[in-house]
Structure 1
Amino acid sequence: MRGRRMTVAGAVMATLAGTAVIGVQPAAGAARTDAGGRSQDDGTTRFQRQGITWHRCQTAPDDAIGKELDDAKAQCAEVTVPLDYSRPGGRTIKVAMSRLKATDPGRRRGALLYNPGGPGVPAMYLALKVKQVAPAVAARYDLIGMDPRFVGRSTPLNCKWPTVSIGSAGSDRRTFDRSVALARDLASRCAAHRDVLPHASTRNTARDMDVIRAALGEPKLSYLGSSYGTYLGEVYLQLFPRRADRVVLDSALNPDLFGPDLTRTAGPAAAAVLENWAAWAARHHDRHRLGATPAEVLATVDRINRAAARSPLRVGRHRVDSGVLPQLLWNVTAGDGDEAYAGFAADVQVLRDAARGVAVTPTPVLEQVLTGLSSPDAEGSASVQTAIQCADRDASRDPETYYRDIQAHRADEPLFGPLTRHLTPCSFWPTTPAEPPTRVRNDVPVLMVGATGDPAATYAGQRAAHRALTGSRLVTLRGAFRHTVYGGLFSPGNACVDSAVNRYLIDGVMPAADTTCSVIPASVKGGRGAGR
């Protein structure tokens, strides 16, 4: 969901079960106790007690990711888990993981599992990034990267979609109906996997995490999750509150909204990022010539949008219509530093000229994104991302509910509303969720960090997660328009945020109360910040 190298399909498409009081839900697949406190095996003990056979990570001569893991002295393995935890004696699947052992074994405190987001993003390799940006954390923990079920090397699911995205609803009824037909077609292509689709849920991935914890011999599991990984962490905390050690959630999602319609509330936040960029572009008008004031820059974007609604823009060998353009403009959310904003300004320059009828050559980023949007979903990443969302929560099966919502917001969300409020293939999904959504309400200690201007994990959503997790502390990076804030993993680093996270993971010291960090411009000391 991050970076200018990620396609917008990944950026847009990166709960009411249980009791109504603060507490925890019973976890299917968790050991239960009788009235005397004695453990009762519900059929999952054999998975928790399985041995782990570690091996090299490279699987073939052209496996560059596996080679890099091997070069870093990582180990790889697979664990066996139930496809359906309510039937642990039935079909099983394999979940793959990597381990980077603590570099200071004498001071090792346990295992820390990292999930970078998605959903549908392989994480085995990305554990290396944590070691690179947080060596002090890597000294104290075995870093675990898990490819979630049906992702990457974990019994992969691929519906062989001919495209990665249905795009925006576009400018009128015709473009909306065309995208609805595409969504219906994509959903039908997953029907061959109807036996596994209901079990692709985040709840089951959280259960897989706990199998890994037990198989590793760890009484508790520490966790670092960002973006979608925060929702996975929230669900794990709800299902296994006593198994959680030190947990950090970076850019937390609202647990009551996660599912096919999660992006519905993201339009205003993305528009705020666009306005922040427009102010930057106006200050650099001498270089980019997009407008001398923020209003003039936004007017340039509006003219591009209106031109694409009239007829597709020619951008090199590509055609950019009202269904594609908002996906390109969503790239403004890729970062709020000078380099990212300058790159986006170059993209807008190309689109402005195309809207004027000038023959243009796309920037490398535009070429990459446009090529990706017109290419098949070869690795199945888009289809499995959708499968996870569809398994977590039902979506409306009536396309008209989405059309009415889009129309109701065309005036106040003219650019991003038709994209963020649009339906997904979940409206035509061949199966329904096997379980209700997870109602997250507990008081497990958690450290949360995030930015006020986050376009994907909106700050209102972060606050909602903070309220649901009553044992949490929230460190807020004010004035930042970026998604994820810790360690410079996917956005500029901030010393204040990093210090809070590292102090908690290494020393166990949680902030005494919610606190804030400030942003120093990226041109000063690499974007570091100071606490207030």
Structure 2
Amino acid sequence: MDTSRLLRTTGTVIAAAGLLLSGCTSDGSAGSRAAASATRGTAPTARPAAVPAALRPYYEQKPSWRDCGVPGFQCATMKAPLDYSRPDSGQDVEIAVSRRTATGPGKRLGSLVVNPGGPGGSGIGYLQAYAGIGYPEAVRARYDMVSFDPRGVDRSNPVECLTGPAMDAYTQVDQTPDDAAERAALVASFKEFAAGCQERSRRILPHVSTVDTARDMDMLRAVLGDEKLTYVGASYGTFLGATYADLFPGRVGRLVLDGAMDPSRSALDMNRDQTEGFETAFRSFARDCAKQPDCPLGKGSPEAIAERLQAFFDTLDAKPVPSGDPKRPLGESLATTGVIAALYDESAWPQLRQALATAMEGDGSGLLGLADSYYEREADGKYANLMYANAAVNCLDQPPAFSGPDAVVESLPSFRKASPVFGAGLAWASLNCAYWPVKATGEARALAAKGAPPIVVVGTLRDPATPYKWAQSLAGQLDSGVLLTYDGDGHTAYGRGSTCIDNALNTYLLDGKPPANGKKCA
């Protein structure tokens, strides 16, 4: 299990998100509409006068849009300096970009850049599988829907760390060590992971911070021809958006930060807060499970159900069960990851109940499938670079949560208090950055974005990955923050079934009118 600060939208987590892919039709109408309107997205580049001379060639790039094999979408590549402190060094990174041009009717409002979170989530994959076809029709009519793979992610100079078999082994390491030998094995796995990243990604590794990507995003804004950035960031994408606003408040257009992070929290506090978030989400699942005839954890209070789940995890810790893959039996670590994956979205609760039921009967394939969806492991054993980029960005953005195993042991009581079931595993998972080969360049700090227009911050009351209090905090930090609350379950709120949330955000994106600060939706 490696779930520390992995923050991304629901659609990129659950295996059932394949339903989103099925909505991507291959009929000629979508492609022909995009082709007919392709020139609508072309405009003179917008370069603020404050752009340093060394960066002007980057800001003045002309994208060469091409068909990228997905009906209705175009792709291009943008260059950015590898090191912003030395933009004239001649060392570049390539940033992959995709768009679907505004479909009309109505006056085009510019580009709407979307980010699904992570860090490490593919923006292009998210755009082409969901956002570019699943966002409200009225929004897609007026905006070119745009996303990019941030530096270090997927199509943009990806961070690479382990081979598929090595990653399989890494995901199975016991992250609730019971003795010195298991503790040493866990530390060795973190060191091996970090060394693999350094060996395979030495050039890019020091240059994938959120600040670097925010600067890339301003360059993208200019390359797209937009004077202001209009943006919807989900999960970790809220931190990226808030960082952009703090760096470039005068270039902020309409920003939605959905499932907000709190940039003022240290890595340790964030990991402990997230542990509380998963406990909150599990309690919601437990209350619902107890009402269902097929609940494998029985009836009773959330506490009683949690005790049964912990007993099952203890059984798997001692003796994993077959999963259909002889090299990957279902042990405690993979099972815990599978459960956590399903807690991102309440629509996955039936799938989780079934997966738990079959695992308790000796078939771990269902929970393994959920864990594989979380890690973005393909059936052929290959992994997307999500987990590699995730660690690379997190370990640059803040100093490590823990300096070593002794510090973890000292914090275990507070993590177990935050979540009796998940606390120990999430505490040990927070040790990964202690062995990172590149020193952190960022630190926890409040982001004010002084002078920016209203920025809408969305928080969900029972969000597992980004606790609601983070949204409250970020909205308070931002000088122009507007808090919008969703009284619901699951991770993020926009486009997840609340007409109230969707109407408020659509009005903001289309008309520029933010909701009233403190507005609550069910």
Report the secondary structure of 1:187's partner residue.
helix
Map of 2:118 onto structure 1: 118
Distance 1:406 1:4, change over 3 A: farther
Say which of 331, 335, 346 aligns to 1:325.
335
CA distance in 2, matches of 1:410, 1:138: 45
State the number of aligned residues. Answer: 466
Map of 1:306 onto structure 2: 314
Aligned-residue CA RMSD (Å): 2.8
Report the secondary structure of 2:111's partner residue.
strand
Letter in 1 for 2:55: T
- Gap runs ≥5 in structure 2: 1-7, 16-45
> Equivalent residues in 2 for 1:248-287 (5 A)?
248-257=256-265, 262-284=270-292, 286-287=293-294
Letter in 2 for 1:453: R
Aligned: 1:508 with 2:512: yes
CA distance in 2, matches of 1:107, 1:485: 27
Distance 1:48 1:367, change over 3 A: closer
CA distance in 1, matches of 2:125, 2:314: 42
CA distance in 2, matches of 1:344, 1:502: 32
CA distance in 1, matches of 2:248, 2:294: 54
Letter in 1 for 2:346: D
Per-residue CA deviation, residues 351-408 of structure 1 (Å, 9 max, x unaligned), is 333xxxxxx2335453453698798664332112111111211214323212321255
CA distance in 2, matches of 1:209, 1:117: 14
Contact (CA 8 Å) 1:168, 1:326: kept in 2 or not? no
Letter in 2 for 1:231: F
CA distance in 2, matches of 1:151, 1:51: 22
Map of 1:221 onto structure 2: 229
Aligned: 1:448 with 2:427: no
Per-residue CA deviation, residues 452-501 of structure 1 (Å, 9 max, x unaligned), is 000100111111111111312111111x220011113xxxx211100000
Report the secondary structure of 1:189's partner residue.
helix
Aligned: 1:402 with 2:408: yes
Report the secondary structure of 1:78's partner residue.
strand
Contact (CA 8 Å) 2:256, 2:457: kept in 1 or not? yes
- Gap runs ≥5 in structure 1: 9-29, 33-37, 58-66, 354-359, 519-532
Map of 2:424 onto structure 1: 418
CA distance in 1, matches of 2:9, 2:515: 28
Letter in 2 for 1:486: Y
Per-residue CA deviation, residues 304-332 of structure 1 (Å, 9 max, x unaligned), is 13323444344454433343332232134
Distance 1:372 1:116, change over 3 A: closer
Q: CA deviation at 1:149?
A: 0.7
Contact (CA 8 Å) 2:231, 2:256: kept in 1 or not? yes
Map of 1:62 onto structure 2: none
More helix by share: 2
CA distance in 1, matches of 2:184, 2:343: 27
Letter in 2 for 1:240: F
Map of 2:493 onto structure 1: 485
CA distance in 1, matches of 2:174, 2:420: 11
TM normalised by structure 2 equals 0.82
TM normalised by structure 1 equals 0.80
Moved more, 169-178 or 241-250: 169-178
Aligned: 1:387 with 2:398: no
Distance 1:105 1:408, change over 3 A: closer
Say which of 354, 358, 376 aligns to 1:346.
354
CA distance in 2, matches of 1:112, 1:320: 42
Report the secondary structure of 2:256's partner residue.
strand
Map of 1:157 onto structure 2: 159
Report the secondary structure of 1:447's partner residue.
strand
Q: CA deviation at 1:436?
A: 4.9
Letter in 2 for 1:500: A
Contact (CA 8 Å) 1:486, 1:498: kept in 2 or not? yes
Map of 1:431 onto structure 2: 438
Aligned: 1:83 with 2:85: no
Q: CA deviation at 1:243?
A: 0.7
